[in-house]
Amino acid sequence: MKIFSLFLVALWLGGGVGVRAEDAAIEERLNKLSGLVQDLQEFKESQRKQIEALGKEVSSLREQLAKPTGDYASREDVRKLAEAVQKIDQNRKDDNEKIAKQIENIGKVAAGGGKKLPKPAPIVEEHPRVRGPGGNENGFEYEIQSGDTLSTIAQAYREKGVKVTLDQIYKANDGLNEKSLKVGQKIFIPKPPA
C-alpha cells in the first residue's frame, strides 16, 4: 500500500503541474470572456440610454400634437369669412351695375341722346338791328358753342329774364335751321318788349 500511496502522491504531484498549466489557459480564456461580457453590458447600457432618449422624444411629440396650437379656424370663423366674401361679392356686383349705368349714360350724352344741361348763353350787349322795312328791333347777338341747340339757348335766356320763344328766334333769323348750326355761327336773340 505504501507503493500505492506513493504512486498516488506522485501522480498527484505530477498531475498538478499539468492542471496548473491548464488553469492558466482557462483563466486567460475566462478573462477574455469576462472582457467580452463587460463590453456587451456597456453596449447594452448605451442602447438602453438611446432607447430612453427616443422614448422621451416620442412622448414630447405626442404632447405637442395633443395641445391645440390656435393655428386653426373654427366653424364659426369659416362661416363669418364666407359671409364677408359674399358681402364683398355682392358689393362688387352692385358697383359693376352702377358703373355700367354710368357708362351707358355717358354714351347717351356723347351720342346726343341724353339730357344735357342747358348752357347759360353769354349775353352780348344789346344793339339795335335793322330788320327789313319794319325798323329797329332790340336783342342780343349769340355765338353758337359746341353742343348748343336752339331750345337750350332759349331756355338759358329765359332763366336770365329774357322771355324769348323758339318761334321768335326763328323769325329773327331768316333761313335759320337748327340742324345746320355751326360752332362760331352768330344768331340774333330778340328781346321782346316788356
Over the stretch 7-29, which tens digit does the pLDDT of each residue have? Answer: 666 666 655 555 566 888 899 99
Backbone angles phi, psi at 59, to 5 degrees: -60, -40
CA atoms within 13 A on the CB side of 115: 1
Read off the C-alpha cell for 131: 330788320
d(CA 93, CA 87): 10
d(CA 173, CA 139): 12
d(CA 58, CA 37): 31
Summarised one tens digit per residue, pLDDT across range 131-161 is: 544 444 688 899 998 888 888 988 988 888 8
CB 138 within 8 A of CB 165: no
CA atoms within 13 A on the CB side of 112: 5
Q: What residues in the chain have per-residue pLDDT under 70?
A: 1-2, 4-21, 70, 111-137, 194
Read off the C-alpha cell for 38: 463587460
